[in-house]
A and B are shown apart, each in its own frame.
Chain A
Amino acid sequence: GDSVTQMEGPVTLSEEAFLTINCTYTATGYPSLFWYVQYPGEGLQLLLKATKADDKGSNKGFEATYRKETTSFHLEKGSVQVSDSAVYFCALKVSNFGNEKLTFGTGTRLTIIP
C-alpha cells in the first residue's frame, strides 16, 4: 500500500539555520505530494504541494522538489525563524477514483531557538 516515511524528530535548530526535513514515499500510482504544518492546538494547514515529477512547491520560504527517481519530497528552508516552530507532515494522495484519501507521515516536530 501507499506509505510515507518522515525524518524522526524532534528537530531543534537555532534561528537563521538551514532546515531539511526528509520525506520518502511508496505509492502504487502517480501521487501528488504535500507538506502540511500544524501549529500548537490547531489543525493542519497546507504549506506546499507538487503534483508531478520535478515540480517544485514553495511557500513562505519553504521549498520541496518532487523527485521520482529517489521517491522523495524533502522540505527545505534556507533561514528558519522562531515562528516556524511547529509539526510538519509529509503526505501523498493517489488519484484512484472510489478510494480517495491522503496518506500522512508521522510528523516531525521542529523547534527554533532564538
Chain B
Amino acid sequence: DGGITQSPKYLFRKEGQNVTLSCEQNLNHDAMYWYRQDPGQGLRLIYYSQIVNDFQKGDIAEGYSVSREKKESFPLTVTSAQKNPTAFYLCASSIDAGAGNSPLHFGNGTRLTVT
C-alpha cells in the first residue's frame, strides 16, 4: 500500500539538542510539506518542497531546517534555536504542487516533547 511514513511516533529530547524527524513517501508525489499542529491553532506550514533539491520556507520556518535529496524523503530538523519545539508534527505530500486542486496526503505524525 502506498502512503506516508513518519517515524518515530513519539520523540523525547532535552532542551538544546537538535532532533531530526523522518518522513518517507512511496506515492511518487513531487511535493512534500511539513506542518506543525498546536492545540487551538490548527496547522501551520513550516517548509515545503515542490521538487527534489528545492524547498521553500513556510509561515514558521525559524528554528527548523529541511533537505530534499531524494523524491521519497523530506526530513525535518528541529534545531535548538526553535523556542517552543514541543508539538505534533505532520508530514504531507501531493502529486503536483502546481495543481491547485490536488489534495494533501498526510502521515500519522510525530509527537515531539522537549524538556
Which residue numbers of A lie inside 8 Å of B, CB to CB? 30-32, 34, 36, 41-46, 49, 51, 89, 93-97, 99-102, 104-107
Contacts and interface: CB of A to CB of B under 8 A. Distances in A.
A94 B100 contact: yes
A32 B106 contact: no
Contacts, number: 65
Interface centre among A43, A89, A96, A99 (most CB of B within 10 A): A43
B42 A89 contact: yes
A42 B108 contact: yes
A43 B109 contact: yes
12 contacts: A30-B100, A41-B108, A43-B92, A43-B107, A43-B108, A44-B90, A93-B100, A94-B100, A102-B45, A104-B35, A106-B40, A106-B42
Contacts of A107: 42
Interface residues of B, number: 28
B114 interface: no
Interface of B: 4, 6, 31, 33, 35, 40-43, 45, 48, 50, 56, 58, 90, 92, 97-101, 103-109
A32 B33 CA distance: 18
A51 B103 CA distance: 11
Contact of A42 (B33, B41, B100, B109): B109
A51 B102 CA distance: 10
